[in-house]
Amino acid sequence: MAEDAGAENDRQRERLQKLGAGLRPGDWQRTLPGGWTVKAAFVHLGFWDRMSLEQLERYEQAGVQQVRHEVEQLNRVVAALAEHLSPAQALEWATRSARAVDDKVRALSPSLTAEILAKDTPRRIHRHLHRREHLDKVKQLLGGQGSR
């Protein structure tokens, strides 16, 4: 199961990099449904990949435990933070965060991976699900452009 996640995580991370690299300067400020800019969506992806990395590292140290996040509140903070980053910084943050969590997913033992999948959200391991959701929205907004 983690092997499948690893390959799909890689595909979506590469898609993130390619899509972001192909965006024109004005594309980063375009507004997605829900009110986020494209730049904020990339910062959001980086944030949640980094949060998953932190959670996976915690699970390695202390075992798998239920965690409750105030998702909407955290997302508002991320959107505010995104206003202070350049598009290049947003893309670098999202790409580095994705690579870090993807590497961690690959390094987890099969038993810990199975426990995480049983007790936590599948998105903790299958990061590609979250990336695909947001990258599809960006691609739709741009009408297929931005991935030259």
Domain ranges of the chain: 2-141
| CA nearest to 20, candidates 35, 43, 47, 42 | 42
Portion of the chain with pLDDT greater than 70, in percent: 95
Residue 147 has pLDDT above 60, yes or no: no
Token pair in block for residue 67: 């965690």
Q: Which CATH number fits domain 2-141: 3.30.1330.90, 1.20.120.450, 3.30.465.10, 3.40.50.970?
A: 1.20.120.450
Mind listing the pLDDT tens digit for each residue in 46-75? 999 999 999 999 999 999 988 777 888 899
Question: pTM to 2 decimals?
Answer: 0.87
Mind listing the pLDDT tens digit for each residue in 42-53? 999 999 999 999
User: Per-residue pLDDT averaged across 7-35, rounded?
Assistant: 96
| CA nearest to 56, candidates 91, 9, 17, 21 | 9
pLDDT value at position 11?
A: 96
Q: CA-CA distance, 99 to 127, in Å (whole number)? A: 11
pLDDT category of residue 144 using cuts at 50, 70 and 90: low
Portion of the chain with pLDDT greater than 90, in percent: 86
Q: Which residue has the tokens 């990099």?
A: 17
Residue 120 has pLDDT above 80, yes or no: yes
